[in-house]
Amino acid sequence: MTQRADFVDLFLKGQVALVTGASGGIGESAAMTLAALGADARVEPVRQRIAEQGHRVTGWECDIRSRSAIFEMVAGVEREMGPISVLVNNAGIDIPQAALEVTEQAWDDIVGTNLKGMFFCSQAVGRGMTSRRYGQIINLASEMSFVAAPPYSVYAISKAGVAQLTKALAVEWAPANVRVNALA
């Protein structure tokens, strides 16, 4: 067994990971990597591939903009799989529009998915993590968290919020041994 596998067995084996937005791209890669590292994952589109690696896996459709849907998803995951130890907040969208052309619907969809959904996913799993005094949350930010470029004003605003959300939760939950970080 390699050193990497020893590390994985020690830290991830049997833990439950929830990856939002895992139907493709970064989320799919994150789910596959977590499974390869020993975690059980909850993700629909890559379910078969993870199951073939010998891990427990399930999928869940959720409107990430709805707090009640998020809490229902997290409760279902934990009923079926056990306590969530790792959350990868990956779900996100962009609707490129010049600032003068942004519609209220585009604003609500982008901010609701990228920021509101991330906060309430973190809150839903954070309750259990803080009470168990263990957990890891990884938020997908963006270079747009720190810079702006047209026609991505609302996306940049939402991702700047992700950077601050990460800092706020990291400081608040650190005493409970819950790590909150972002990748950009």
Q: What type of residue is 100?
A: L
84 beta partners:
16
Cα 8 from Cα 42, distance rounded (Å):
18
155 is catalytic: yes
Burial label for 133, CB within 10 Å (0-12, 13-18, 19+), is exposed
Q: Measured between alpha carbons, how far is 106 from 126 in angstroms, rounded to an integer?
A: 28
Q: Is 56 helix (H, G, I), strand (E, B) or coil?
A: coil
Check 141, 155, 157, 166 and give the catalytic one: 155
Distances (CA, A) of 140 to 20, 24, 98, 101: 10, 14, 23, 26
Q: Are 21 and 27 in contact, with CB atoms under 8 Å apart?
A: yes
Active-site residues, by number, are 155
